[in-house]
Protein backbone atom coordinates (compact mmCIF):
# COMPACT_ATOMS: atom_id res chain seq x y z
CA UNK A 1 0.00 0.00 0.00
CA UNK A 2 1.29 3.42 -0.90
CA UNK A 3 2.09 5.73 1.99
CA UNK A 4 -0.45 8.58 2.45
CA UNK A 5 0.59 11.77 0.74
CA UNK A 6 1.42 14.69 3.02
CA UNK A 7 2.39 18.27 2.32
CA UNK A 8 6.01 18.67 3.32
CA UNK A 9 7.73 21.89 4.34
CA UNK A 10 8.56 22.78 0.74
CA UNK A 11 4.95 22.30 -0.38
CA UNK A 12 3.67 24.48 2.44
CA UNK A 13 6.22 27.13 1.59
CA UNK A 14 5.18 27.15 -2.06
CA UNK A 15 1.47 27.31 -1.29
CA UNK A 16 1.49 30.09 1.28
CA UNK A 17 4.70 32.00 0.64
CA UNK A 18 6.33 31.30 -2.75
CA UNK A 19 9.52 33.18 -1.96
CA UNK A 20 9.91 31.62 1.46
CA UNK A 21 10.46 35.07 2.97
CA UNK A 22 9.52 36.06 6.54
CA UNK A 23 6.06 37.60 6.82
CA UNK A 24 6.39 41.00 8.55
CA UNK A 25 4.22 41.77 11.54
CA UNK A 26 3.18 45.05 9.92
CA UNK A 27 3.84 45.84 6.26
CA UNK A 28 3.07 49.56 6.01
CA UNK A 29 4.42 49.74 2.44
CA UNK A 30 1.93 47.14 1.23
CA UNK A 31 -0.98 49.37 2.16
CA UNK A 32 0.66 52.55 0.91
CA UNK A 33 1.96 51.27 -2.43
CA UNK A 34 -1.33 51.57 -4.38
CA UNK A 35 -1.71 55.17 -3.16
CA UNK A 36 1.92 56.23 -3.61
CA UNK A 37 1.41 58.67 -6.49
CA UNK A 38 -1.68 60.19 -4.87
CA UNK A 39 0.14 60.61 -1.55
CA UNK A 40 3.19 62.22 -3.15
CA UNK A 41 0.96 64.65 -5.03
CA UNK A 42 -0.83 65.58 -1.80
CA UNK A 43 2.47 66.17 0.00
CA UNK A 44 3.74 68.27 -2.91
CA UNK A 45 0.58 70.40 -2.82
CA UNK A 46 1.10 71.14 0.87
CA UNK A 47 4.77 71.97 0.31
CA UNK A 48 3.87 74.35 -2.50
CA UNK A 49 1.16 76.04 -0.41
CA UNK A 50 3.43 76.78 2.55
CA UNK A 51 0.52 75.96 4.91
CA UNK A 52 2.20 73.31 7.06
CA UNK A 53 -0.15 73.75 10.06
CA UNK A 54 -3.95 74.01 10.17
CA UNK A 55 -4.23 74.32 6.39
CA UNK A 56 -7.26 73.55 4.22
CA UNK A 57 -6.42 69.84 4.10
CA UNK A 58 -6.65 69.66 7.89
CA UNK A 59 -9.96 71.52 7.86
CA UNK A 60 -11.32 69.14 5.22
CA UNK A 61 -10.27 66.11 7.26
CA UNK A 62 -11.87 67.60 10.38
CA UNK A 63 -15.16 68.09 8.55
CA UNK A 64 -15.09 64.59 7.07
CA UNK A 65 -14.42 62.94 10.42
CA UNK A 66 -17.05 65.01 12.19
CA UNK A 67 -19.58 63.71 9.68
CA UNK A 68 -18.33 60.12 9.93
CA UNK A 69 -18.41 60.18 13.73
CA UNK A 70 -21.81 61.92 13.91
CA UNK A 71 -20.62 64.97 15.87
CA UNK A 72 -20.61 68.73 15.26
CA UNK A 73 -16.91 69.41 15.84
CA UNK A 74 -13.60 67.73 15.04
CA UNK A 75 -10.32 69.30 16.12
CA UNK A 76 -7.03 67.99 14.78
CA UNK A 77 -3.87 67.70 16.89
CA UNK A 78 -0.39 66.21 16.82
CA UNK A 79 -1.16 62.68 18.03
CA UNK A 80 -3.67 60.40 19.70
CA UNK A 81 -1.74 60.84 22.94
CA UNK A 82 -2.13 64.61 22.67
CA UNK A 83 -5.82 64.14 21.92
CA UNK A 84 -6.32 62.33 25.23
CA UNK A 85 -4.23 64.88 27.14
CA UNK A 86 -5.99 67.91 25.64
CA UNK A 87 -9.41 66.33 26.15
CA UNK A 88 -8.73 65.93 29.87
CA UNK A 89 -7.33 69.46 30.04
CA UNK A 90 -10.49 70.83 28.42
CA UNK A 91 -12.51 69.10 31.15
CA UNK A 92 -10.29 70.63 33.87
CA UNK A 93 -9.00 67.27 35.10
CA UNK A 94 -6.07 67.80 37.47
CA UNK A 95 -4.44 67.03 40.82
CA UNK A 96 -6.69 65.23 43.28
CA UNK A 97 -8.97 63.86 40.55
CA UNK A 98 -9.38 60.19 39.71
CA UNK A 99 -10.04 58.88 36.20
CA UNK A 100 -11.30 55.36 35.52
CA UNK A 101 -9.83 53.43 32.60
CA UNK A 102 -9.56 49.79 31.54
CA UNK A 103 -6.76 47.62 32.86
CA UNK A 104 -6.04 46.47 29.30
CA UNK A 105 -5.02 49.42 27.14
CA UNK A 106 -2.02 51.23 25.68
CA UNK A 107 0.24 53.21 28.01
CA UNK A 108 -0.91 56.56 26.57
CA UNK A 109 -4.39 56.23 28.09
CA UNK A 110 -2.98 56.20 31.61
CA UNK A 111 -0.09 58.60 30.98
CA UNK A 112 -2.46 61.35 29.84
CA UNK A 113 -4.13 61.18 33.26
CA UNK A 114 -0.83 61.03 35.15
CA UNK A 115 0.70 63.98 33.26
CA UNK A 116 -2.05 66.23 34.62
CA UNK A 117 -1.41 65.16 38.20
CA UNK A 118 -4.59 63.09 38.35
CA UNK A 119 -4.76 59.45 39.41
CA UNK A 120 -5.48 56.68 36.89
CA UNK A 121 -7.72 54.01 38.41
CA UNK A 122 -7.74 50.71 36.53
CA UNK A 123 -11.01 48.84 36.10
CA UNK A 124 -11.09 45.19 35.00
CA UNK A 125 -12.18 44.24 31.50
CA UNK A 126 -14.93 42.04 30.13
CA UNK A 127 -13.07 38.87 29.00
CA UNK A 128 -15.41 38.50 26.03
CA UNK A 129 -14.61 41.90 24.52
CA UNK A 130 -11.38 43.03 26.24
CA UNK A 131 -13.09 46.38 26.82
CA UNK A 132 -13.82 47.95 30.21
CA UNK A 133 -16.49 46.02 32.13
CA UNK A 134 -19.39 48.33 33.04
CA UNK A 135 -20.27 46.02 35.93
CA UNK A 136 -16.92 46.85 37.56
CA UNK A 137 -17.12 50.62 37.11
CA UNK A 138 -19.53 51.42 39.91
CA UNK A 139 -17.38 49.78 42.59
CA UNK A 140 -14.33 51.81 41.47
CA UNK A 141 -16.04 55.21 41.82
CA UNK A 142 -15.04 57.36 44.79
CA UNK A 143 -15.77 60.94 45.79
CA UNK A 144 -12.67 61.96 43.78
CA UNK A 145 -13.72 60.29 40.52
CA UNK A 146 -14.21 62.85 37.74
CA UNK A 147 -14.13 60.92 34.48
CA UNK A 148 -14.20 57.57 32.68
CA UNK A 149 -12.07 56.73 29.64
CA UNK A 150 -13.58 53.72 27.85
CA UNK A 151 -11.21 52.31 25.23
CA UNK A 152 -12.74 50.77 22.10
CA UNK A 153 -10.32 47.97 21.24
CA UNK A 154 -9.97 46.00 18.00
CA UNK A 155 -12.71 47.95 16.22
CA UNK A 156 -15.26 47.02 18.87
CA UNK A 157 -16.93 49.78 20.91
CA UNK A 158 -17.24 49.36 24.65
CA UNK A 159 -20.72 49.04 26.15
CA UNK A 160 -21.40 52.75 25.91
CA UNK A 161 -25.08 52.53 26.79
CA UNK A 162 -24.25 51.09 30.20
CA UNK A 163 -21.25 53.40 30.67
CA UNK A 164 -23.23 56.51 29.78
CA UNK A 165 -25.99 55.54 32.21
CA UNK A 166 -23.47 55.30 35.04
CA UNK A 167 -21.68 58.51 34.01
CA UNK A 168 -24.91 60.49 33.80
CA UNK A 169 -26.17 59.21 37.14
CA UNK A 170 -22.84 59.85 38.89
CA UNK A 171 -22.11 63.16 37.11
CA UNK A 172 -18.88 61.99 35.45
CA UNK A 173 -17.19 63.05 32.23
CA UNK A 174 -16.66 60.46 29.49
CA UNK A 175 -13.68 60.61 27.12
CA UNK A 176 -13.75 57.90 24.47
CA UNK A 177 -10.42 56.47 23.33
CA UNK A 178 -11.30 55.27 19.84
CA UNK A 179 -7.74 55.08 18.51
CA UNK A 180 -8.44 51.54 17.26
CA UNK A 181 -12.07 52.00 16.28
CA UNK A 182 -12.50 54.82 13.80
CA UNK A 183 -15.76 54.24 11.93
CA UNK A 184 -17.08 51.72 14.45
CA UNK A 185 -20.60 52.07 15.84
CA UNK A 186 -22.83 50.64 18.55
CA UNK A 187 -26.54 50.38 17.78
CA UNK A 188 -26.15 52.87 14.95
CA UNK A 189 -24.32 55.46 17.03
CA UNK A 190 -20.69 56.07 16.12
CA UNK A 191 -17.72 55.68 18.41
CA UNK A 192 -16.78 59.20 19.63
CA UNK A 193 -20.44 60.30 19.55
CA UNK A 194 -21.34 58.98 23.02
CA UNK A 195 -19.14 60.81 25.49
CA UNK A 196 -18.19 64.42 26.05
CA UNK A 197 -15.09 64.07 23.85
CA UNK A 198 -13.86 61.30 21.56
CA UNK A 199 -10.21 60.79 20.61
CA UNK A 200 -8.68 59.29 17.46
CA UNK A 201 -5.11 58.42 16.50
CA UNK A 202 -3.47 58.32 13.08
CA UNK A 203 -0.30 56.59 14.24
CA UNK A 204 0.85 54.38 11.32
CA UNK A 205 -0.17 51.14 13.07
CA UNK A 206 -3.74 52.28 13.75
CA UNK A 207 -6.80 51.42 11.66
CA UNK A 208 -6.44 54.69 9.75
CA UNK A 209 -2.69 55.20 9.84
CA UNK A 210 -1.15 58.46 8.68
CA UNK A 211 2.04 59.54 6.95
CA UNK A 212 3.65 60.27 10.31
CA UNK A 213 1.57 60.86 13.43
CA UNK A 214 -1.62 62.75 14.14
CA UNK A 215 -4.77 62.80 16.25
CA UNK A 216 -8.31 64.13 16.35
CA UNK A 217 -10.71 65.23 19.09
CA UNK A 218 -14.45 65.09 18.47
CA UNK A 219 -17.34 66.62 20.39
CA UNK A 220 -20.88 67.97 20.12
CA UNK A 221 -20.20 70.64 22.74
CA UNK A 222 -19.49 74.09 21.24
CA UNK A 223 -17.61 75.37 24.30
CA UNK A 224 -15.46 72.25 24.59
CA UNK A 225 -14.62 72.49 20.89
CA UNK A 226 -13.45 76.07 21.36
CA UNK A 227 -11.29 75.09 24.34
CA UNK A 228 -9.76 72.22 22.39
CA UNK A 229 -8.92 74.53 19.48
CA UNK A 230 -7.15 76.91 21.87
CA UNK A 231 -5.30 74.20 23.79
CA UNK A 232 -3.93 72.50 20.68
CA UNK A 233 -2.04 75.67 19.67
CA UNK A 234 -1.08 77.19 23.04
CA UNK A 235 -4.00 79.62 23.03
CA UNK A 236 -3.60 80.72 19.42
CA UNK A 237 -6.27 80.33 16.76
CA UNK A 238 -5.16 79.62 13.18
Residue 48 lies in a domain: no
Residue 216 lies in a domain: yes
Look at 25-29, 67-71, 96-100, 197-201 and tell me which has the smallest mean pLDDT: 25-29
Give residue 95's pLDDT band: very low, low, confident or very high (50, 70, 90): very high
Q: Could you give the CA distance from residue 191 to residue 182 in angstroms, rounded to a whole number? A: 7
Residue 123 lies in a domain: yes
The per-residue pLDDT for 110 is 97
Q: Could you give the CA distance from residue 63 to residue 74 in angstroms, rounded to a whole number? A: 7
Residue 91 lies in a domain: yes
Residue 54 lies in a domain: no
The per-residue pLDDT for 18 is 64
The per-residue pLDDT for 16 is 57
Residue 39 lies in a domain: no
The per-residue pLDDT for 192 is 97
- Whether 140 and 100 have beta carbons less than 8 Å apart is answered as yes
pLDDT, tens digit, 9 for 90 and up, residues 140-195: 999 999 999 999 999 999 999 999 999 999 999 999 999 999 999 999 999 999 99
Look at 31-45, 77-91, 94-108 and tell me which has the smallest mean pLDDT: 31-45
Report in angstroms the alpha-carbon separations of 141 from 97, 151, 167.
Answer: 11, 18, 10
Residue 82 lies in a domain: yes
> What's the chain's average pLDDT?
91
Percent residues over pLDDT 90 in the chain: 78
CATH code for position 180: 3.40.640.10
Residue 23 lies in a domain: no
- Whether 129 and 180 have beta carbons less than 8 Å apart is answered as no
* Number of domains observed in the structure of the chain: 1
pTM of the predicted protein model? 0.87
**Mean pLDDT (whole number) for 18-23:** 78
Amino acid sequence: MDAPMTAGPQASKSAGNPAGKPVPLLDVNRGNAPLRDEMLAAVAAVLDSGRFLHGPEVHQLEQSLATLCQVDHAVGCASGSDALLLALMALDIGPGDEVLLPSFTFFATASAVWRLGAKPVFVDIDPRTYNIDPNRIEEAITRDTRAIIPVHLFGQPADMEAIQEIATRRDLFVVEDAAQSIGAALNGRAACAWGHIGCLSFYPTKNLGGFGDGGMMLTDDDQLAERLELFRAHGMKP
